Amino acid sequence: MTIHDTGGWTATDDVILRIDDVAKSYGPVKALRGVTLDIRRGTIHGLLGENGAGKSTLVGVISGQRTPTSGRIVMNGRPLERVDVKAMEEAGVFLVTQEPMIIDNMTAAENLMLGIWPVRNGLVDWKALRADAARMLDGSGIDPAALAGRLDAVARRKLNILRAMFSGGTVIILDEPTAALTVADRRQLFDFMRRLKAEGVTFIFISHYNDEILEICDAVSVLRDGSLAGGSEDVRAMTSEQLSELVLGRGLTLFQRARRDHAGKAPAISLREVRGRHLALSALDIAPGEIVGFTGLPGAGAKELARAIFGLYPARGRLTMNGVETGLPGDPRMALDAGIAFLSDDRRRDGAVGQMSIGQNIALSSLPSRARFGFIDRAAEAAVVSRYFGAMGVKSPGPEYAVDTLSGGNQQKVCLGRVLATDPRLLIVDEPTRGIDVGVKQDVLRIIDALSNTGVAVIIVSTDTDELVRAVDRVCVFGQGDIKETLTGEDITVERLRASVQA
Ligand SMILES: Nc1ncnc2c1ncn2[C@@H]1O[C@H](COP(=O)(O)OP(=O)(O)OP(=O)(O)O)[C@@H](O)[C@H]1O
Ligand SMILES: [Mg+2]
């Protein structure tokens, strides 16, 4: 059987994939409770739901990566006997996960060709293959000859998506593919999806962003607590509010910070003459209680400066905190000791420790400062854990469960809880609500807002313009390592921000 075998379907049969009464339990946790769903051929089908609703579990089952407790998958009208990764890839179903499966010491083009090897006279036609791969990479901004290990996070993600498409997938599942992409990258990905859709490829698309679902999807299904809560075959007739209501089961109240003007206050932190690769900052002061947004294109300096302040990025410069001048911290330990906390956007690398419990993860960074005579103060630990487990609304039976058992968005809540638990004087968060559902996103912005009201200075590094508009007092737009424009008050709008970033 070739991957393009139609398996006997007829053109009138427009359902390519039927999910039939699928249930999945992890011990006592019912992740899916009998979900029945039809995916129509040649459509882009959105999958929405709160953190922990069961989206990743469902597409894990469809792609053969997770075994359902009960139920069946029907492809082109035929129930599948075996549902494992190999069988599903043969049937043309590919899951593009968040974790790029990429071989670092092969080129970008070679990575695309992994496992496909088209054959002529029993031999791999390398030349044709290389040409095809190069054509597919054309316009992606990725050099076909570049070693994959040298590519940045965004390029690796794109490469991962391209590979599923190149592998002849007829149903391609994207689990939060846009998380690390810029506006321009996103546009490019969507154009690419539309092109493939016109050729008959079917997509299942998971996202927490209503605007993305409204822009790209034909149909949408919403999971709530492991069950199908609703959906629509005509997404274009829906509004963002209706989508949120389907996801949450209630209306959504969007958070908006009451912006404040901090001009003239004695700064909590001052930076002068910060130099490094992609960094040429002349001056920046942040007042106590102020929330400043950092944004810009990749490599423009926003991320680099944030990491440099936490000692994670090599740079030289002067830093003054509460009147005391020091250099930039040499490493994160020094930064933490100085009262600086940091949430990385790379939660896989700097994020939660999967095998440890949720509670241990929350207490991880604040414990050393709470230790007494070298012993961990258990009572203090328990207090911190229960406070942030509750405040972040982590969806789990209890803080003693391993972080590995949490959904993606809930792992992020744990990371954020851990950073907040350090009681910082300066809090730096990089993409704090990426991967977090619309309801919890408002909660996270509220928590940061409340923290700032206690006098903590906050830097939010974000490419989410909506988040910047709702959460900050001032936005620094970076270009060539320095602040190229500062927006305050009424000037902080989605349009102004987009224009300034691209300018
Ligand atoms: N390996 C596992 N062991 C135990 N429980 C798990 C495991 N994987 C997932 N779960 C649980 O199953 C439920 C559904 O998780 P899933 O990852 O499917 O959610 P999701 O909708 O993808 O959420 P998110 O938007 O946060 O990614 C959650 O309650 C989660 O804690
Ligand atoms: Mg998920």
For residue 479, give the 3-state DSSP assignment: strand
Phi, psi at 426, each rounded to 5°: -125, 120
Weakest mean pLDDT among 99-108, 119-128, 368-377: 368-377
Best residue among 26, 63, 222 to mutate for probing ligand 1's pocket (most ligand atoms within 8 Å of CB) is 26
Among residues 399, 442, 395, the alpha carbon closest in space to that of 54 is found at 395
- Most confident by average pLDDT, 163-177, 341-355, 474-488: 474-488
Higher pLDDT: 369 or 485? It is 485
For residue 189, give the 3-state DSSP assignment: helix
**Cβ atoms within 10 A of the Cβ of 473, count?**
22
Question: What is the edge-to-edge ordering of all strands in the sheet holding 474-479?
Answer: 340-343, 426-430, 457-461, 291-296, 474-479, 482-488
Best residue among 30, 56, 347 to mutate for probing ligand 1's pocket (most ligand atoms within 8 Å of CB) is 56
Q: Is the distance from the beta carbon of residue 49 to the nearest atom of ligand 1 less than 6 Å?
A: yes
Q: Is the distance from the beta carbon of residue 140 to the nearest atom of ligand 1 less than 6 Å?
A: no
Domain ranges of the chain: 43-57+93-102+151-248, 269-339+424-502
Best residue among 405, 413, 416, 441 to mutate for probing ligand 1's pocket (most ligand atoms within 8 Å of CB) is 405
CATH superfamily of 269-339+424-502: P-loop containing nucleotide triphosphate hydrolases (3.40.50.300)
The answer on pLDDT for 3 being more than 60 is: no
Atom of ligand 1 nearest to the CA of 437: 25
pLDDT of residue 130: 78
Q: Is the distance from the beta carbon of residue 398 to the nearest atom of ligand 1 less than 6 Å?
A: no
Among residues 207, 211, 109, the alpha carbon closest in space to that of 437 is found at 207
User: Do the two domains 43-57+93-102+151-248 and 269-339+424-502 of this chain adopt the same fold?
Assistant: yes
pLDDT of residue 368: 60
Atom of ligand 1 nearest to the CA of 24: 12
For residue 43, give the 3-state DSSP assignment: coil
Q: Is the distance from the beta carbon of residue 55 to the nearest atom of ligand 1 less than 6 Å?
A: yes
Q: Is the distance from the beta carbon of residue 267 to the nearest atom of ligand 1 less than 6 Å?
A: no
Atom of ligand 1 nearest to the CA of 396: 31
- C-alpha 407 to ligand 1 mean position (Å): 4
Among residues 294, 297, 317, 301, the alpha carbon closest in space to that of 426 is found at 294
CATH number listed for the domain at residues 43-57+93-102+151-248: 3.40.50.300
Nearest CA to ligand 1 atom 2: 405
- Most confident by average pLDDT, 179-183, 307-311, 403-407: 307-311
For residue 350, what pLDDT band results from cuts at 50, 70 and 90?
low
pLDDT of residue 261: 92
Tokens of 334: 């020094």
Weakest mean pLDDT among 8-17, 105-114, 442-451: 8-17
Q: pLDDT (tens digit, 9 = 90+) per residue, 24-83?
A: 999 989 999 999 999 999 999 999 999 999 999 999 999 999 999 999 999 999 999 888
For residue 180, give the 3-state DSSP assignment: coil
pLDDT of residue 370: 52
Cα separation values, 437 from 161, 186, 243, Å: 23, 19, 12
Q: Is the distance from the beta carbon of residue 56 to the nearest atom of ligand 1 less than 6 Å?
A: yes
pLDDT of residue 309: 97
Q: pLDDT (tens digit, 9 = 90+) per residue, 197-255?
A: 988 899 999 999 999 999 999 999 999 999 999 999 999 999 999 999 999 988 888 99
Higher pLDDT: 442 or 374? It is 442
Weakest mean pLDDT among 31-35, 111-115, 355-359: 111-115
Cα separation values, 169 from 135, 177, 217, 243, Å: 17, 16, 18, 29
Among residues 129, 60, 135, 118, the alpha carbon closest in space to that of 93 is found at 60
Q: Is the distance from the beta carbon of residue 51 to the nearest atom of ligand 1 less than 6 Å?
A: yes
Higher pLDDT: 293 or 362? It is 293
Among residues 418, 265, 268, the alpha carbon closest in space to that of 338 is found at 268
Q: Is the distance from the beta carbon of residue 26 to the nearest atom of ligand 1 less than 6 Å?
A: yes
Q: Is the distance from the beta carbon of residue 360 to the nearest atom of ligand 1 less than 6 Å?
A: no
* Burial call 433-445: b when 16+ CB within 10 Å, e when fewer: bbbbbbbbbbbbb
For residue 121, what pLDDT band results from cuts at 50, 70 and 90?
low
d(C-alpha 498, C-alpha 493), whole Å: 9
pLDDT of residue 4: 40
- C-alpha 419 to ligand 2 mean position (Å): 22
Average of per-residue pLDDT across 260-267? 91
Higher pLDDT: 387 or 284? It is 284
* Own/partner pairs, 207-213, CB within 8 angstroms, 24+ separation: 207/46, 207/48, 207/176, 207/177, 207/178, 208/48, 208/176, 208/409, 208/435, 208/436, 208/437, 208/438, 208/441, 209/178, 210/240, 210/243, 210/244, 210/438, 211/240, 212/178, 212/186, 213/46, 213/48, 213/243
Q: Where are the beta strands (DSSP E) in 52-121?
A: 70-75, 78-79, 93-96, 119-120
Share of the chain above pLDDT 70, in %: 91
- C-alpha 79 to ligand 1 mean position (Å): 26
pLDDT of residue 118: 52
Report the amino acid identity of residue 76: N
